[in-house]
Structure formats: structure tokens, C-alpha cells
Amino acid sequence: MLSHKICLTTALRASVGVAALLVSCVAHAQAPAADEPAAGELVVTGSRVKRDGYNSPTPVSVVSRDEISRSATPNIADYVNTLPSLSGSSTPATTSNMVGQGRQGINAMNVRGIGTVRTLTLLDGRRVGGMANDGTVDVSELPQQLVSRVDVVTGGASASYGSDALSGVVNFVLDTKFTGLRGEIFGGQTTYGDNQNWKVALTYGAAFAGGRGHFLLSGEASHEDGIYRPGNRDWTEANWGYINNPAYTATNGQPRVLRKQDIALSTATFGGAIACTATSTCASLRGIAFGPGGTPYNLVLGPIVSDPIMSGGTQADNSPRNNQDNSMVPRQNRRNLFARVSYDVADDWNIYAEGMVAHLDTDARYFSGTFGNTLAVRVDNPYMPAEIAARMRALNLTSVPFGTLKGDNPVSGANSERGYTRVVAGVDGKFDALDTEWTIGAYYQFARTALRNTATNATRLPNWNRAIDAVRAPNGSIICRSTLTNPTDGCIPYNLFGTGVNNQAAIDYVTGNPTQDSVFKQNVVSINIAGEPFEIWAGPVSLAFGVEHRTQSADGVADPITQVSVANWDTTGGLPTIGSYKVSDAYVETVIPLARDQAWAKQLTINAASRVVKYESGTFVTWKLGAEYMPIESLRIRGIASRDVREANLSDRFAGVFQTSGSFLDPNNNGAATTARGLTTGNPNLDPEIGRTYSAGIVFQPTFLSGFNASVDYYKVSITGAIGSLNIQQVVNLCFAGNQDACALITATPAGPQQFEVRTAPLNLASESTRGLDFEASYRFRFEDLMPGTSGTFTIRGLATNYISYTVNPGLPGSIVTERAGAAGLPSWRYQLSVNYQNERLALSGTMRGVSGGVQNNNWIECQSGCPTSTGDNPTYDDISIAAATYFDLSATYSLGDNNQFQFFFNVRNIFNKDPAVVPAGPTGHPSWWNQPIERSQYDILGRVFGAGIRFRI
């Protein structure tokens, strides 16, 4: 189990894995949480070893149930993700359009920004089956009303807990001995009146058979409207984006890319537009657009134009980013049910069984599939207004480039339905052997996720290409050109010119709903044994050992059209993940006391662990060596070194062909922004990642200032053979540098408006390395110590993480090292300060949290004049800054009833309605210009949010 917090009076009787004996002993190994434990309670954390009075050298942050309750957030992840040591976690806002990856709507933890797939999520110290093809766990589907605390281990823990714990562990500990009836009703919305949400939860627990048995049942239902159209927020109306500087040359000292407002398309409208360039033979037709009913009009271009986008002009107030459904947060419906029954078959033996089912339905809308300037419309197209066709013939043109936003088609979307089932059966007990009392915990777990992903209203490209090439039939009717040679092809012509010009049959012919059905399964068998087999001069030596076997599998099927080719659709998506693997491992861990109550050492303890892991790719050894030294009662010095391993997951190895869209700066075309289609797939030949973690820190708990605790820890994590994929820009840059393997991944259309396809797959890159500092301090005191005659307690708690550096080195010829720290997605600082007051009836909590500013990309060069020549690796921009942000939250809880059995609570997040920092989309920024100009994982994007509700316990 991740964290064993054991009361002195029960330490010798507790059994491995029995969370019921742990929940009353909530404390903090790094610095206490807001609600410190009562005197006499001793802490064991971050280790499988159970030992009275031992604190693990691995830093652990603890979030108590009281903290979670005071936050009054609708989802436990909303609060836990504010911890500075968690950075870049997946949330519904960051995954709203990930339909093809199965991650839509997921809340997944990310310790230190190293990756959700490198963070192991546990429930009561046991694995939880993954809910997507990469194995990530949606913590929103755990029984939230039963969570008594959340432990966050910020360090490599593979030796103790196995694969996926390379960056750390997040353990959700349940109150498995809860008795009574507990309920909650919650509702909330943003200050803009959108994203209305509600939650209803009910939990019941009771003993039976004279106290030998215990039964739990906990259910929850919640709904979130989502935000389909975010246009009423100031930061969306500004329409920030990046655009190529049309005045740039390699020698004039100007930046290659400009950051501007009012970004819109210059070559396409909802009713279509002729997309000729200013220097082409059809330049006189440039900007002719088509409105309702196909009426031509002249599109007014903005002052800065770099096809296919511009800044300003008549399109500025009609950007599809804001005026078409483009989800900030998906609509969500959740239903969760958890049941547990346990029974003491003997005084020292307990058997238990758990069952959990969850269902999530999400729906997002997004703007996709624009044909900005990639179509060619022929002069004989009968839908073309006669006057435009005449002008084309006068210029001897047989076709013109054309762009459209497909205004007649319904908005594209992403729908995901996920059903999750988890069953656990286990036994905890103790036995005597070799003159030692041993505790044992064994369990079997089966988990299954059934997932259906649907890309709604996608464009079916083969049909689209046939339908837009319309001609006159010999009888004068309008048909598809393909029908002339294949009269039974069923093609229905589509009118590109204007809005409101196509009937439903034409729309249905060119659109569809590609689907992907997947099933992910996990089987786990685990046995853990712990005891104190002998004693030395400084105390007993503790020992824990165990074995585990795990299988993971994925299977699925796509719709028949996608099975032929993912390129049949214009949307993100692809073929399912199909494959399986198994892992067997065995571990041993020990705690050895070297000194106790000496003049030079109050305590000195060594913690060591090793695990042998057999993957299908080979056998690997992980290890951990840590030490804790207390020279005096008030000071602890701790350090740890570990070697950790993460096996490639199902997605890494077996993902089917997956289609994305993006853009790159083309070094062969003076750095011009160019759109591209990306195709990714899994790589079954991947090797495991190898991580090395080093951390050292001090914990100060002065005896002269009761209730005060502080800690600081330095950490460094290095990963060799890191599993990752090159992005489109990196592949293009490598090709430009002469890497022929990279060039082989790029395909360009041979004729017509040029389009590019770039293929990528996960690789074992050279290395990733990160280092930083974690700070934490808390002070808890009684109010009457300041003002006699008053009541209640104050708790002040501050946490901060300084991400000093995070480098990624692909290690490929021609590639460059990227520094992530201080760039978009990983600010150099994350911090949180909370002040809490609580008396018998009232609890008030105020929180200040935030992130430091930075730049969008550390490899970009910011300059306004005198710029060096822009390159693919180091492009020049006039502004790459990202602003810092500080948010303030306030919550209040008031209790009623003789035993405070009723609670009314209220919460306001982001009180001052601070906008998120602008992180523009466009050339090499976000994948495509139509993405909203924000960084979703670090900033509040909703604005001020209100929530209120009632809780009861009977």
C-alpha cells in the first residue's frame, strides 16, 4: 500500500491493505495537512513497510477529507489538481476533443508534469484498471464520498509499487469502515450563466453479524452542461492568434511571425470564397465570397494577410472559433456505484469483496475540417454564378482555388460513452512463522472498460470530393462528374457556393459519424507480506516482500468506412488499439534502524527496496535506497535515490493508425505556415523507459512552536529511452537538415493545391530530465491563544513547486534539445496558500493559487527588430510571452443539528474573474489556428464559478 499511517495502539495488529485501520490516522510526512493528527499518532508513508514511528524518506503530500470538503468543488480532482506538485493533469477541458484516443472527459493525475502515463493511480493501495488505451485512470469515477484522504508521492516508486510509478503515485484512501448514511446535493455555474452542473451522492454503511462484517454502498450521479460556444468571454472575443509576417525576409531583421488580434480566415467563409493569391493569374477574383443563397460579395481583407489567415477584415467578427460551437468544456453525464462487503472469518483474518461500475457520457463540439484554400473548383461547375464563370473564361482559367467552412453542414463533434467495471476480492490476515508475526494481504482484481468513440458530423472525403465536382448532365440536370462514367455510383452533387443552398440528402451524402468501439481489460493478482523478523541495536528490522502478476489487453473495431482508410474522414480519429501484454514481478523492501536516541542522532534509518520485473521485452531490476536522519527532535533530513522502469503501454505499442491535423513552418518555402495531416501509430518494438530519481530535503517541526511544520525538497528525475513522438514540425526540420529517414515520413500531393501528410510513431528518444524544488509549510493554532474567550482553530498552509528545468533530447541527428520549464504547459512556479478557520459550526477557507509567467516556447526567439534569420528550430516572433496568473477562492460551510449532521456549503472559485493568459494559436503554436488561444492545463478558463449545496450524515 502506498501509505500506511498507523496509530500506536493498533500498529501491531494492523494487516497489510486494511485501509479501515488507517483512516483515523491521517497525518503528513512532508508537512502536515490542514488537520493535523492528534498527539500520539505515528506516521508511516511512501513505503510498503509497516513500522511504528517510521517516516519514509520519500516526500508525500496528503490532502485530507476536511480539505476536500471545504473546497466545495463538484469533483475531487478539481481540488487535488491545484496542488503545485501536480502539473499538466488531464481534465475534461484538456481532453474535450480527444475522441479518437478515448480520453475525452478524463481526470488523470500528472506528478511534476512528467506525464499522466508515468503517474501510478491507486485505490486503497491497489491498482485501478485503465479507462483509456494508454492506461490512464479517471479519478472522477472513484467513490468520492468514501475518500478519507489522498496521498501524493512525489518520487520514483517503481521498486515499491511497480511499473507506471516512474514519476510518483497518487493513492486515494477510502473509509471502508464508514457507518451510517451520508448524502450530498450540489449545484453550480459560471458567472456567465453557462456550464450549469449538479451532483447527487448517497452513501450507506453498516455492520452486521455482531460487528464481524461490514457493508458499504456508495452511489453518485452528476451532470455538467459544458460550454459549446465560448464567445461571451473577453479573451475569446479578442481572437488572438499567430500569423506569418508578410513583410518578412531572411535579411530585413523583422520577425517571421506576428502576434495579432482578430485572427480569421482570408481564403474561406461559411459560404465559400475564391482563394486566389495576390500574385496568381486569378488575382482579380481573389476575395469573391458567397453568402446566403449563393449571392456573391467581396470579402474585405484585413491589414495583415498571410493566406490562409489574416488579422482584421470582415471575417474578424465572424470567426468560427467563437461563432460556431467550439467546446471549452464537454457536456458530461456521470453515474458511479461502489459496493464493498467484508467479514472477519477469524480474529486475525478478514475477507472482502468490492465492486464498482461507472458510466460516463461526454459530448463536445469543435470546429474542424476547414478547406481553407485546398479545393479546386472547375469553371464548368453549374452551381458557380454565371458572372464568375464568365470572368474565369476571360482569364483562360479552367479552375480556381477555393476555400469553405461548409456552412450548410452541421457542426462536427466528439461523443464518448464509457462503461467501467472493477471487481476485487481479497483477504487480509496474519500468521506466525520463524518466531515472527507476519501480516499478509492478497487480492485479485479484474477491470474492464467498454468505450465507444464517435466523431459526429464528420466529412466523408471520398464522397465530398465526388459531390463538389458537379457538372451538367446531357438532360440538363446537375449531377456529379463521376456519375457520367458510373451512373450507379449514388453520388449526390453538393453546392459549394453560399449557405442554405444544399438539401438534406446532399448534406447526408458528404457527412457521417465514424465510430470506434474498444474494450480494455486488466487482471491483477498480488500478494504482500510484512513483518519484523529480528531486532538489532537500534530497534527491529522491518521487512516486506511480495509478488504480482498483471495482464493488460485491448481490442476493438472501427466502422467499415474507417477500416478501409482513416483518410476517408476529415476528422481526428482512427483505428482502435489492439494488443496485449503481461507483467510479472517480485519485490522486497526493508527498513533498518541504525541509531536511536543517541547524542548525535535522535534517529537514523535506512529504507531499501528492489523489484525484479519481467516484461515481454525483457527482465529489469528497479531499486530504491533512502535514508532519514534526525539529529534533534525538531529536524529531519531525508534523501532517496531510485531506479525506476515504465513499460510501454497499450497505446504506445499497439495503437491503430490515428489521424490528426496540424501546421508547420516550411523551411523550403521561406518559413511559410503550412497545414498538414498527421498519421500516428503504435510501435510494438519499444523498450521500457529507465528513470533515475534523486531527492534530498529537510523537515522542520520545532518543539517550541507546536503546530508548525515546514519542508523543502530538491529533486532530479532523468529518463533514458523516454517514449515519445516527434511532432510535425520536428519531422519537417529533420528532413530539411538532410535526415532521409525523416523525409520518408513526408508525402506531398503531386498536383493541385499542395497538401502534406506526415507519419509518426512513438520512439525511444534519448532522454528527458527535470529538476526542481518543493516547498511546504503549515501552522495550526487555536484562536483562543490569540484572543482568550474565543473558539475555533486557524490553519495556514502554503505549498509551492519551482520547476527549474525540464529538458527533452530526441537524440536524433539534426534534432535539438527542448527546454519545457517556463514554457506553455509547465510554468516555472506553481503555488498555493490557504487560510482556514473552523469552529464547532462554521468553517471558512480562503485560497490563493497561481502560476508564474513565461514564454510559449523556449526555442522561439522574441524580437521586434534586428531579428536573426528565422529557422524551423528557432523561429522568430514579435511576442512569445505568457502572463502569470493568480486566482483567489473562497468557501464557507455551516453545520446544523445536535451532531452537526447537516452542512450547508458555498464556494466561489476565481473570485475576481481573472481571464486565462493568452497563448495564441496559429503557425507552430497550437496545432491549428482555430484552437482557442489559451493553455487549458494551467489556467482557469471558465472564469468565476459558483457552487452551493447541502451535505448530511445520519
Percent of the chain with pLDDT over 70: 90
Contacts 24+ apart (CB under 8 A), 783-792: 783/837, 783/839, 791/839, 791/840, 792/837, 792/838, 792/839, 792/840, 792/842
How would DSSP label each residue in 805-836?
EEEEE---TT---EE-TTBTTB-SEEEEEEEE
How far is it between the farthest Cα atoms of the chain? 106
How confident is the model at residue 749, as a pLDDT? 65
What is the rounded distance in angstroms from the CA atom of residue 586 to the CA atom of residue 413?
Answer: 46
Give 789-813 pLDDT, tens digit per residue: 788 999 999 999 999 999 999 888 7
What is the rounded distance in angstroms from the CA atom of residue 666 to the CA atom of residue 673?
Answer: 6
State if pTM tops 0.85: yes
**pLDDT at position 289 over 90:** yes
The enclosing H or E element of 258 equals strand 257-260
What is the rounded distance in angstroms from the CA atom of residue 370 to the CA atom of residue 675?
Answer: 11
What is the rounded distance in angstroms from the CA atom of residue 753 to the CA atom of residue 280?
Answer: 13
What is the rounded distance in angstroms from the CA atom of residue 722 to the CA atom of residue 167?
Answer: 13
Q: Which three cell numbers stand for residue 857?
A: 516556447
What are the strands, taking DSSP E only, across 103-167? 119-123, 126-127, 147-153
Least confident of 363-377, 453-467, 879-893: 363-377
Mean pLDDT of 829-844: 94
What is the rounded distance in angstroms from the CA atom of residue 426 to the CA atom of residue 187?
Answer: 37
What are the strands, taking DSSP E only, across 300-385? 301-306, 309-313, 331-346, 349-365, 371-378
Q: Which three cell numbers stand for residue 626?
A: 533512502
Q: Which of 26, 25, 20 is nearest to 350 (CA)?
A: 20
Mark out the alpha helices in 348-485 (DSSP H runs).
386-394, 461-467, 481-485
Give 219-270 pLDDT, tens digit per residue: 999 999 998 877 678 888 788 889 889 999 999 999 999 999 888 888 889 9
What is the rounded distance in angstroms from the CA atom of residue 520 to the CA atom of residue 750?
Answer: 41
Quickly state the pLDDT bin for 814 (edges 50, 70, 90): confident
How confident is the model at residue 867, as a pLDDT? 97
Q: Which three cell numbers stand for residue 796?
A: 495556514
What is the rounded distance in angstroms from the CA atom of residue 934 to the CA atom of residue 341?
Answer: 46
Q: Which three cell numbers stand for residue 832?
A: 498555493
**pLDDT at position 147 over 60:** yes
What is the rounded distance in angstroms from the CA atom of residue 949 to the CA atom of residue 323?
Answer: 34
Q: Which of 23, 17, 21, 9 is nearest to 52 (CA)?
A: 9
Q: Which three cell numbers stand for residue 173?
A: 484512501
Helices and strands in the chain: count of H runs, count of E runs:
13, 55
Least confident of 147-161, 431-445, 593-607: 147-161
Pairing of strands 331-346, 349-365: antiparallel
Task: Please count the other Cβ atoms lying within 10 Å of the Cβ belonging to residue 592.
Answer: 17
Least confident of 372-381, 573-582, 744-753, 851-860: 744-753
Pairing of strands 603-615, 635-646: unpaired
Give CA separation, 21 vs 10, 171, 637, 934, in Å. Answer: 8, 16, 29, 45
User: How would you class 264 by CB atoms within 10 Å of its CB: exposed for 0-12, middle for 13-18, buried for 19 or more?
Assistant: buried
What is the rounded distance in angstroms from the CA atom of residue 794 to the CA atom of residue 844?
Answer: 10
Helix, strand or coil for residue 925? coil
What is the rounded distance in angstroms from the CA atom of residue 289 to the CA atom of residue 284?
Answer: 13
What is the rounded distance in angstroms from the CA atom of residue 546 to the CA atom of residue 700?
Answer: 34
How confident is the model at residue 95, as a pLDDT? 73
The enclosing H or E element of 728 equals helix 728-736
Q: Which of 468, 448, 452, 470 is nearest to 460 (CA)?
A: 468
What is the rounded distance in angstroms from the CA atom of residue 58 to the CA atom of residue 774?
Answer: 12
Buried b (16+ CB within 10 A) or exposed e, 467-485: bbbbbeeeeeeebbbbbee
Fold classification of 3-230+329-366+415-455+516-953 (topology level) = Maltoporin; Chain A (2.40.170)
What does DSSP assign to residue 222?
E
CA atoms within 13 A on the CB side of 184: 24
Using omega within 30 degrees of 0 as the cis cutoff, is the peptide bond preceding 308 cis? yes
Q: Which three cell numbers stand for residue 248?
A: 518578412
User: How would you class 57 by CB atoms within 10 Å of its CB: exposed for 0-12, middle for 13-18, buried for 19 or more?
Assistant: buried
Q: Which of 953, 843, 820, 842 is nearest to 899 (CA)?
A: 953
Task: Please count the other Cβ atoms lying within 10 Å of the Cβ belonging to residue 703.
Answer: 8
Give 306-359 pLDDT, tens digit per residue: 888 889 888 776 666 655 667 888 999 999 999 999 999 999 999 999 999 999
Every domain of the chain and the residues it spans: 3-230+329-366+415-455+516-953
Judge contact between 802 and 773, C-beta under 8 A. yes
Q: Which residue has the higher pLDDT, 614 or 897?
A: 614
Give the dihedral of Cα atoms 871, 875, 877, 880; nearest 10 deg. Answer: -170
The backbone torsions φ and ψ at residue 726, rounded to the nearest 5 degrees and listed phi first, read -75, 140
Quickly state the pLDDT bin for 39 (edges 50, 70, 90): very low
What is the rounded distance in angstroms from the CA atom of residue 474 to the CA atom of residue 240?
Answer: 50
Name residue 817's amino acid. Answer: V
Give 708-732 pLDDT, tens digit per residue: 999 999 999 999 999 988 888 888 8
Mean pLDDT of 284-301: 94
